[in-house]
Structure 1
Amino acid sequence: MRFNTLLLSLGAITAHPLSANVETITVYGHRSGLIGESISASSGVIGQGEIDSRAMLRSAEMLELIPGMAVTQHSGSGKANQYFIRGFNLDHGTDFATYIDGMPINMRSHGHGQGYTDLNFIIPETIATITYQKGSYHAEQGDFSSAGSAYFHLADNPTHQQLTLSIGEDNYTRAVAMASVAAGQGKVIGAAQWQGYDGPWQDINEDISKKNALLRYVGRAWDGDMSITAMAYDNRWNAADQIPRRAVRQGIITELGSLDKTLGGHSSRYSVSANWQGQRVSASAYLIDYKLDLFSNFTYFLNDPINGDQFQQYDERVISGAALGYTFSQQTSWPIEHRVGITLRNDNVGEVGLYNTRARQRLSTVREDSIDERSYSAYWHSQITISSKLEANLGLRYDYLEANVQSDNPSNSGDASDDLFSVKANINYLFTPQWAGYFNFAQGFHSNDARGATINLDPITLEATEQVDLLVRSEGGEIGVRYFDEQQFNFSTALWWLELDSELLFVGDAGNTEASDASRRYGLELSAYYWLNERFSVDMEASFTRSRLRNGTKDDRVEGAVPVVASAGVNWHINELWLSSLRFRHIGKRILSADGERRSQPLSVVNGLLSYRQTHWKVDVELLNMFNSQDHDIDYYYSSRLPGEADEGIADIHFHPIEPRTLRLSVSWLF
């Protein structure tokens, strides 16, 4: 069949046991899961083939393969990206959970932002699949998953070994090597990446030096599948932060200019993890050593007219954790498959600090803390097969989080703890072999920065300030349908809603709490994929969202919310050797002020890929921002002060432009 042939060319095949006597083979390929294989109308699996055939400016844009998700940047290439989904400006990941090889990626009580999600440590070629779920409808989804989650699965069986060299404009260079060798009852997989880039900016040289490495053993042990993985990442960069619109209009700088030329940072992440999967039991453990040293300046001379407002955020921590799961069946009139599990996580933050700086030299300390934060979770998920057409899922989850904060101001030190019990449920009904319907409901949550849960005095004004809850409840649901035609067509749509008890949060850029209210979001999502024949396919995705604060006033807009995200693509297998793709992405006008009066301009960009592939060679040509759009990656509205302006500064749009059109060439030797 044409569709199955395409899946096999794009995806990966895995086997997983459903019972002691039955083994199912699942073909992972395009974004939407197969009928009956997903508990949600907005979940699916992305294969390595699709990652490999997507033109990407940054590695984090792998997440844009999730329908309705947008990835942008407002600073240097070494900093975590900005993420948008389901009406959320997730900042750097507050309400979208990410994992790799059993390890969480989101950072709790991070120096720059809660849930900080930096994907720069991932080598895209080492990923086999990305499993995603929008919403928090499964019992295994915990912290940060209110809007959804993504799981990066490392490759156990790479299709080939490779050596790739890439070059591009603005001194873009990248080298990747990946190989595997047999070792006993398994194999050892190794990969390394180096990337350099100067960037298109007129006043700075990004001078990126990114180094990644992976060493992985996969094999059989104790009647199960085992993997042990070590990963390493180190990156240094200079940054072009967002700039005020008036500085461009007055001719002080161009859109590619910078007002503070000493921004940037250094980040590193080293980890080791182990995973074991038996017939019924699974176990995992991990240890991560992480550091970030980041210099930013968003307001220039508003707070300090002499030295400027540059500040340093520092985060140094060790994260450890483990998980244990058990699957068993219950034979009743309705077959039931149960999954129970526990997870443990500890963030030992040796130092998390905010400092006033000038040209990366410390002038004073705003606040400096050490944090010990621990979580304990337990869940129970039951899948009930009522008939060949009807399936129900019920999940129960309990989370307990405790933290100890030791601050340089004793008034802001203390202990905090919180717990939540969550219920998750969904029903799937197969109307016909092609049509399926879904209804999902879930309670979820995100954790807040522990410093916000113990703060009593603003670190700058020393005035009393409001504390945040350590855990914030979310509640939402969706109803959706999916049509699946093995020959040509795949379509899904979902109506969803999500409420947060509070959007009050701790602001890492200021060291204090920022008040907000409870919120409500609801929207419509559409996805369609059409295969005209074995060589030509098109896809379209759109997400429409309404986001409001529940404060009973006219100023009820959620700042940063995105009402519309849309994308479309064309894939053409010209012949057996040539492949091309064209991708369009659109982000609608983002809300920048609570009254809704200030909005950003929309963002539209087109990327293209032309690829030549044979048995042992592959050549890729990427044309990014094909039509040289001058739209903005991100826009904010706040006050800043330039030299000579009034002491109170000027409220203005601050933006970071998308990078101009750029051409990149990659040559890969496959063996």
Structure 2
Amino acid sequence: MHKIIILPILLCFAAPCYAQSAAGTIVDQSSHLPLGGVTVEAGEARQTVTTRDDGRFAFKHLPAGVQKITFHMAGYRTRTLPVAEVAGMADTVFLSSQATQLADVLVSANRINPYKTISENDIRMRSISNAQEVLRMVPGLFIGQHQGGGKAEQIFLRGFDNDHGTDINMSVDGMPINMVSHAHGQGYADSHFIIPETIEHTTYEKGMYNPEKGDLAVTGFVNFHTANAIPQSLVRAEAGQYNTYRVLGMVDLLGEKTKEKGQSWYAASEYRYSNSYFDNPQHFKRFNFFTKYYGRLNARNYLSATASTMYSQWKASGQIPESAVAEGIIGFYGAIDPNEGGVTARTSLNATLTTSLSDNDLLKNQLYYSHYTFDLHSNFTFFLEDTVHGDEIRQRESRDLMGYNGSYAHESHLGNSHLRSELGINLRWDGTLGSALTHTVNKFTEIRPVKLGNISELGAGAYVSETLSLTNRLTINAGLRYDHFNYRYDNKLATDSTLQGVGRYKANNQVVSPKIKVSYQLSDKAQLYWFAGRGFHSNDARAVVAANGLPTLPTAIGSDIGTVLKPTKNLLLHAAVWYSRLQQEYVYGGDGGTVEFSGPTRRLGMDFSARYQPLRALYLDVDVNYAHGRATKDPKGANYIPLAPVWSSTGGIVYNKGTGLNGSLRYRWLGDRPANENYSLKAAGYFVNDLVVNYTKRRYEVGVTVNNLFNVKWKETQFETETRLQHQQPVDGIAFTAGTKFFATAHITYFFH
């Protein structure tokens, strides 16, 4: 490892023999804020670099024959300048926004993230109506809601049932969304505190190959980036079926004059209410507030600071047995226990200082804090265990989450090879009070406590990442990550079945995760890549301290081989085959308070994406995904992975002229999949369409959104569950939550400065 760290230092002394240089800072012409992620191409040499978060780029040693520099970024007009002019522009290059065009997309081996070109275009072309729609931006990612909107979604990706976030790492502006050692499930990721209109773009990768990402990043990671500035203020009102209402306001707090100084500050707030489409009204309500300051403190420092708060309350229809619907006991949209539902809240502070050092180095320091509360009432089995009072449970916790992310990046050259070295540190502490699982009746009347205690969990990670562009066509990224976890559980319950009495229990574990990425550019129309690496997900602290020294930090091994193609200027293709293997693990079951064993698994799959823009205003997209997964230690025929997705696809047509009539028609299809290990029960697939139609002018917009356009009956989430209705015999079968009916909402938006 010492050799890896010393390598970039040694390369700094290499003596290059190139004749000229070009450097600068790229900023948005409207907001005057720096643009990160811009691809900068050195004309005839076909060399490319990507701007950092502070908008800086540099070519220190260009061949003498290079005469022009070109700037590419989705949603911005491509700009080409002479090298001499770039060198003499007082370090500033302005880019003006325009309608996103696939013709501007550049295929480059310098882009070590092959999903970047797709993600940039998708979020700018497709309308976003809620935070769930942003999650669906990840090709192949499916979500399912089984409490009607208040609870975190169940997430499916790459043949994994990620539950609520066990094997996918999620963050917003670098602040974690996932909650480790959560009262309901490991990695619980409730993103409903994000106002969707504040999201400017997403960064995501599939697989376990990014050294910056540690815990939970097995199927991939998603980082939401909120806008540093808003183009204009707005007020929006929505109303729809099932007593659904939403109001939204976004206000620029500084105005136009401060933009030239590189300052931005805005606030956004929303309130939503809905009874939803279930027979049992949900009385769902959510309030969100968010504010962000982004500004240049001086020539070298930029500060980003956000604050947010969310409160949500709802009743739920929960999961109902297929057998009860078949017998006519309840309807397809009915409920067994009307007491299901919950209350949750999250208040967060997040600040990042980005500092440009000499020699084109970049230092980032981030601090974040969240206070979070959660109180959930569920009933999955009804009267199976307690035939008198029922099986209702209550899960609750109060949590403080705080952490630090720091990174130092250095760029240097060895001849015509460009090297980017990065060192990073991640620290995170979670402390929960009164984390509890209780058997209840009528929501708050306690019958029997199952779990009660306080959790303290500290995670510390460090990584080194080296990205070397050996030639204009070949880029290699090698990374090494180390993570260490300390767990403490203060058990308050003498009757806890997994521990030996009241007291303090401690444990720790650690893991080393190597990663490698190789990207090769065949031509300006084709890029090939190969990724390999190790990832992991941590287990709940209550499972770790109860495991008595057994391995509780299971690793995952994976590899991808893929290509990015642009055969014509308006067609972009992405295809990959992938493989992953997981070790055995011990899992804490939040709904039962038990520690369960799960054996090793292996998955093999294929991803395909296509984006086509035949006209400037017309955008077509399709994603098709396949995954074959099996438990490796179980006999054939009894080795299916329950609820693991097999075939899935999403796609749509978007018509967007900017003003006037715009709209989109989309579909999502999830194929049938096994609901248990021997596939004797099937989780039925579905095909659902959504429609958006808007009429947009400079000062206002009116529109209609329709979910489930053709009003099909579909099951959004499904589980094999043994249930018993009151005064009946137990039934082992599918329990499900019904997907939305035809659901139309209308909105009107007023824009102002």
- TM-score bracket, normalised by the shorter chain, equals over 0.9
Q: How many residue pairs were aligned?
A: 649
Q: Report the AA paired with residue 447 of structure 1.
A: S
Residues 1:496 and 2:573 are matched in the alignment: no
Match for residue 700 of structure 2? 617
- The correspondence of residues 453-602 of structure 1 with structure 2, limited to 5 A, is 453-455=544-546, 469-485=551-567, 487-554=569-636, 555-573=638-656, 576-602=659-685
- The correspondence of residues 296-311 of structure 1 with structure 2, limited to 5 A, is 296-311=378-393
Residues 1:419 and 2:510 are matched in the alignment: yes
Preserved CA contact (<8 Å) 1:41 1:494: no
Q: Report the AA paired with residue 597 of structure 2.
A: A
Q: Report the AA paired with residue 115 of structure 1.
A: G
- The correspondence of residues 345-384 of structure 1 with structure 2, limited to 5 A, is 345-361=428-444, 362-384=446-468
Shift of 1:71: 1.3
Match for residue 739 of structure 2? 658
Preserved CA contact (<8 Å) 1:287 1:320: yes
Separation in structure 1 between the aligned mates of residue 101 and residue 240 of structure 2, nearest angstrom: 29
Residues 1:263 and 2:340 are matched in the alignment: yes
Shift of 1:442: 1.1
Match for residue 186 of structure 1? 263
Residues 1:207 and 2:283 are matched in the alignment: yes
Preserved CA contact (<8 Å) 1:55 1:622: no
Q: Report the AA paired with residue 320 of structure 2.
A: I
Residues 1:221 and 2:300 are matched in the alignment: no
Preserved CA contact (<8 Å) 1:173 1:196: yes
Match for residue 316 of structure 1? 398
Preserved CA contact (<8 Å) 2:271 2:287: yes
Shift of 1:382: 0.6
Q: Secondary structure at the match of 1:431?
A: strand
Separation in structure 1 between the aligned mates of residue 379 and residue 116 of structure 2, nearest angstrom: 38
Q: Secondary structure at the match of 2:500?
A: helix
Match for residue 368 of structure 2? 286
Q: Report the AA paired with residue 236 of structure 2.
A: T
Go from structure 1 to structure 2 and tell me whether the alpha carbon gap of 1:389 and 1:342 turns closer, same or farther (over 3 Å shift): same
Q: Pick the structure with greater CA Rg.
A: 2
Shift of 1:181: 2.4
Separation in structure 2 between the aligned mates of residue 493 and residue 439 of structure 1, nearest angstrom: 12
Separation in structure 2 between the aligned mates of residue 135 and residue 44 of structure 1, nearest angstrom: 17
Preserved CA contact (<8 Å) 1:31 1:46: no
Match for residue 634 of structure 1? 717
Unaligned regions of 5+ residues in structure 2, if any? 1-28, 39-50, 61-68, 76-99, 357-361
- Cα deviations across residues 218-243 of structure 1 (Å, max 9, x unaligned)? 11125221111111000010011010
Preserved CA contact (<8 Å) 2:354 2:364: yes
- The correspondence of residues 51-62 of structure 1 with structure 2, limited to 5 A, is 53-54=126-127, 56=129, 58-62=130-134
- The correspondence of residues 147-166 of structure 1 with structure 2, limited to 5 A, is 147-166=219-238
Go from structure 1 to structure 2 and tell me whether the alpha carbon gap of 1:20 and 1:526 turns closer, same or farther (over 3 Å shift): closer
- The correspondence of residues 226-245 of structure 1 with structure 2, limited to 5 A, is 226-245=303-322
Q: Secondary structure at the match of 2:73?
A: strand
Preserved CA contact (<8 Å) 2:719 2:734: yes
- The correspondence of residues 98-137 of structure 1 with structure 2, limited to 5 A, is 98-137=170-209
Preserved CA contact (<8 Å) 2:128 2:134: no
Go from structure 1 to structure 2 and tell me whether the alpha carbon gap of 1:25 and 1:69 turns closer, same or farther (over 3 Å shift): same
Preserved CA contact (<8 Å) 2:675 2:683: yes
Identity between Structure 1 and Structure 2 (%) = 28
Shift of 1:620: 2.0
Preserved CA contact (<8 Å) 1:301 1:307: yes
Q: Secondary structure at the match of 2:726?
A: coil
Separation in structure 1 between the aligned mates of residue 140 and residue 296 of structure 2, nearest angstrom: 38
- Cα deviations across residues 536-568 of structure 1 (Å, max 9, x unaligned)? 221111000001111141221111101011012
Preserved CA contact (<8 Å) 1:324 1:341: yes
Match for residue 148 of structure 2? 76
Preserved CA contact (<8 Å) 1:633 1:655: yes
Residues 1:251 and 2:328 are matched in the alignment: yes
Go from structure 1 to structure 2 and tell me whether the alpha carbon gap of 1:26 and 1:312 turns closer, same or farther (over 3 Å shift): farther
Shift of 1:611: 0.9
Go from structure 1 to structure 2 and tell me whether the alpha carbon gap of 1:467 and 1:663 turns closer, same or farther (over 3 Å shift): farther
Go from structure 1 to structure 2 and tell me whether the alpha carbon gap of 1:602 and 1:198 turns closer, same or farther (over 3 Å shift): same
Preserved CA contact (<8 Å) 1:373 1:402: yes
Match for residue 608 of structure 1? 691
Shift of 1:24: 8.5
Separation in structure 2 between the aligned mates of residue 511 and residue 545 of structure 1, nearest angstrom: 31
Q: Quick check: 191-200 or 588-597, which moved more?
A: 588-597
Match for residue 26 of structure 2? none
Shift of 1:467: 7.7
Separation in structure 2 between the aligned mates of residue 257 and residue 51 of structure 1, nearest angstrom: 38
Shift of 1:21: 5.8
Q: Report the AA paired with residue 396 of structure 2.
A: Y
Separation in structure 2 between the aligned mates of residue 34 and residue 599 of structure 1, nearest angstrom: 43
Shift of 1:20: 5.2
Pairwise CA RMSD: 2.3
Shift of 1:26: 5.1
Separation in structure 2 between the aligned mates of residue 386 and residue 21 of structure 1, nearest angstrom: 15
Go from structure 1 to structure 2 and tell me whether the alpha carbon gap of 1:111 and 1:34 turns closer, same or farther (over 3 Å shift): farther
Preserved CA contact (<8 Å) 2:159 2:646: yes
Separation in structure 2 between the aligned mates of residue 27 and residue 654 of structure 1, nearest angstrom: 46
Match for residue 434 of structure 1? 525
Separation in structure 2 between the aligned mates of residue 51 and residue 259 of structure 1, nearest angstrom: 42
Q: Secondary structure at the match of 1:637?
A: strand
Match for residue 459 of structure 1? none
Separation in structure 1 between the aligned mates of residue 567 and residue 282 of structure 2, nearest angstrom: 47
Q: Report the AA paired with residue 147 of structure 1.
A: T
Q: Secondary structure at the match of 2:182?
A: coil
Q: Secondary structure at the match of 2:537?
A: strand
Shift of 1:43: 5.1
Separation in structure 2 between the aligned mates of residue 31 and residue 42 of structure 1, nearest angstrom: 17
If the length of structure 1 is used for normalisation, what is the TM-score? 0.93
Go from structure 1 to structure 2 and tell me whether the alpha carbon gap of 1:575 and 1:352 turns closer, same or farther (over 3 Å shift): closer
Q: Secondary structure at the match of 1:510?
A: coil
Preserved CA contact (<8 Å) 1:40 1:440: no
Q: Secondary structure at the match of 2:152?
A: coil
Preserved CA contact (<8 Å) 1:45 1:130: no
Preserved CA contact (<8 Å) 1:473 1:501: yes
Q: Report the AA paired with residue 377 of structure 1.
A: G
Q: Secondary structure at the match of 1:396?
A: strand
Preserved CA contact (<8 Å) 1:398 1:419: yes
Preserved CA contact (<8 Å) 1:13 1:27: no
Shift of 1:469: 3.7
Shift of 1:474: 0.7
Go from structure 1 to structure 2 and tell me whether the alpha carbon gap of 1:614 and 1:654 turns closer, same or farther (over 3 Å shift): same
Preserved CA contact (<8 Å) 1:45 1:129: no
Match for residue 135 of structure 2? 63
Q: Report the AA paired with residue 392 of structure 1.
A: I
Shift of 1:288: 0.4
Runs of 4+, deviation exceeding 6 Å: 30-33
Shift of 1:276: 1.2
- Cα deviations across residues 380-433 of structure 1 (Å, max 9, x unaligned)? 111101101111110010000111011123626411111111110011000010
Q: Quick check: 36-45 or 546-555, which moved more?
A: 36-45
Separation in structure 1 between the aligned mates of residue 550 and residue 271 of structure 2, nearest angstrom: 41
- Cα deviations across residues 469-516 of structure 1 (Å, max 9, x unaligned)? 442211101000111256210001000011111253111000011221
Separation in structure 2 between the aligned mates of residue 658 and residue 234 of structure 1, nearest angstrom: 24
